[in-house]
Amino acid sequence: MMKLLLQLFITFAKVGVMTFGGGYAMLPILQREVVENRGWCSEEDLTDYFAIGQCTPGIIAVNTATFVGQKQAGTVGGIVATLGIVFPSLVIITALASIIEKISHLAVVQNAFAGINVCVGILILNSVVKLFKKAVVGKGTLVIFLVVTIGALTANTLPNVNLSPVVFVLISALAGILLKNWGAKKA
């Protein structure tokens, strides 16, 4: 059990230290470490954990780490995985906090952050493509994808409209349930 807990901590610490840009940017690294390297869950499970992590309070990557850790080693595993994923950020932010204000005006620092932002955008795009391939498996899920995409893009362009992602997740869940039940009745 101690070996598994140590593996959970180290694996999620590695994810935490290698990721810039938050939960969405962590998805490819989580997928590689948790699904491919460790086999702790399937890609579908990870996608489910990520979706649940999005609509529960807190940081998506932390919530996902908690779900995976809990699945592997119960409550203690969830706590250890959570500590693992936040530990690197805590150390790095503590170290940077003392110097970032002094160097943030430097062109090289601003350019580095601009480059990191571009990289994070690509990592998020990569995550979207992988999720799309796994999640959109038929006409029904394609319709859900298109409706949510149009809804999210439209909502973000309207003045004074600020829809939470939870609304889209709940609508998608309901649509998935309805489609599945409708398909079962037809069969």
Looking at the structure, do residues 113 and 127 belong to the same domain, yes or no? Answer: yes
The answer, yes or no, to whether residue 46 has pLDDT greater than 70, is: yes
pLDDT value for 186: 66
Residues 141, 176: one domain? yes
Instruction: Examine the domain organization and report whether 108 and 126 are in the same domain.
Output: yes
- Answer yes or no: do 141 and 130 share one domain: no
Task: Based on the fold, state whether residues 29 and 96 are members of the same structural domain.
Answer: yes
Q: Are 120 and 21 contacting, i.e. CB atoms less than 8 angstroms apart?
A: yes
As for how many domains the chain has, the answer is 2
Residue 73, C-beta contacts closer than 8 angstroms, at least 6 positions apart:
1, 4, 5, 8, 80
**For 125-168, how does the pLDDT look when each residue is reduced to its tens digit (9 = 90+)?**
888 888 888 889 888 899 999 999 898 888 878 787 777 888 88
Q: What is the span of the domain harbouring residue 176?
A: 136-187
pLDDT in tens, 62-107: 888 999 999 999 999 999 999 999 998 889 888 888 888 888 889 9
The reply to whether 19 and 106 lie within a common domain is yes
- Which residue among 92, 115, 134 closes a domain? 134
94 and 157 belong to one structural domain: no
**pTM beyond cutoff 0.75:** no
Q: Are residues 46 and 123 in the same domain?
A: yes
Q: In terms of domains, do 90 and 29 share one?
A: yes
Q: Provide DSSP, 141-166.
A: HHHHHHHHHHHHHHHHHSTT----HH
Residue 20 pLDDT greater than 70, yes or no: no
Looking at the structure, tell me whether residues 156 and 129 fall in a common domain. Answer: no
Write the CA distances from 79 to 66, 74, 180, integer angstroms. 7, 9, 35
Nearest-Å Rg of the Cα atoms of the chain is 19
pLDDT for res 22: 64
Regarding whether 108 and 159 lie in a shared domain, the answer is no
Distance between CA atoms of residues 90 and 96, nearest Å: 10
Distances 64 to 50, 51, 147, 159 between C-alpha atoms, Å? 6, 9, 26, 33
